[in-house]
Chain A
Amino acid sequence: MDFTCEVLGDAHDVSAFDSSVPALDAWLRDAARDSDGRNLTRTYVWHTGDRRVVAYYTLMPYFIERETLTKRQGRGLPNRISGYLIARLALDRPLHGQRLGSQLVASALTRAAAGARDLGGRLVIVDAIDEGAAAFYQHHGFAPIEGHPLRLVLPTKLIDASAVPSVL
């Protein structure tokens, strides 16, 4: 396996990480450990054995709710859907252009599917930074939310359906 993926910890070196998007680099360097420490998010990093981080993603629980004008709801109808937001996802610059974005998304979705199996969660939600990124996510099975072209969702059950069943 080329990359080990594990929860961000004190032993990981994030100082040289450069995705070319300053906000994503700053988050990993300055904010991720604090946010994870408060259990708001969970950040996972890739390294090649030396603990120098070459990719990361941050997941958090997320809800999509039905807008209502009154508090009355149709009987028995759910008014919110639970899931996981891929809040951030970035690759170090030397790894760009090698189709590793697909791999990183697959790694994140595998985590989300495991979370869903353990604790529930029907959707994975992601914010694309631009139209190109939105097209990338659509290519991997995500669909944009109507009225939010850069916010896309994927059913967690689709992740299991996409996975090749392991041979026992």
Chain B
Amino acid sequence: MSPKTKVLNLRVSDEQRRVYERAAALEGISVSALVTSAADVHADELLHAHASMSVPADVFDGLLAALDGQATPAPALAKALAEPRFENL
């Protein structure tokens, strides 16, 4: 993960703050870690909730052209597929 250099300011009630502090203390983590880990999970869920994305027409057409063109195998992928250490059941 990239370094945490950005500051996010949040407004919470006295009660929310007390609850977060108590919960964080129980886990032995900072309030910041508590809030960001919960936000990470929720943001991840929201980002994947919609099973589609839309792109501008020119980008879409570029993707279509790439799909219709010649497929060039990637050596790193070919190597991993040729020497599998897993068995997909």
The yes or no answer to A97 lying at the interface (CB within 8 A) is no
**Contact residues of B between 48 and 80, Cβ < 8 Å to A:** 48, 51-57, 59-64, 66-67, 71-74, 76-80
The yes or no answer to B44 lying at the interface (CB within 8 A) is yes
User: Which range contains the number of B residues in contact with the other chain?
Assistant: 35 or more
When the two chains form their complex, are residues A3 and B87 in contact, meaning their CB atoms are under 8 A apart? yes
When the two chains form their complex, are residues B55 and A102 in contact, meaning their CB atoms are under 8 A apart? no
Residues of A in contact (CB 8 Å), total 65
The yes or no answer to B45 lying at the interface (CB within 8 A) is yes
CB distance from B39 to the nearest CB of A (A): 9
Contacts A23-B40, A67-B57; A1 near B51 (Cβ below 8 A): no
Contacts A129-B1, A130-B1; A102 near B80 (Cβ below 8 A): yes
**Contact residues of A between 28 and 50, Cβ < 8 Å to B:** 31, 44, 46
Q: Which residue of A lies closest to B45 (CB)?
A: A31
**Contact residues of A between 125 and 147, Cβ < 8 Å to B:** 127, 129-131, 139-141, 143, 145-147
Encode A102-128 as 1/0 by CB contact (under 8 A) with B: 111111011100100000001100010
The docked-state distance in angstroms from the alpha carbon of A79 to that of B63 is 11
Q: Which residue of B lies closest to A81 (CB)?
A: B63
CB distance from A28 to the nearest CB of B (A): 11
When the two chains form their complex, are residues B37 and A164 in contact, meaning their CB atoms are under 8 A apart? no
Chain A contacts for B74, CB-based, 8 A: 139-141, 158, 162
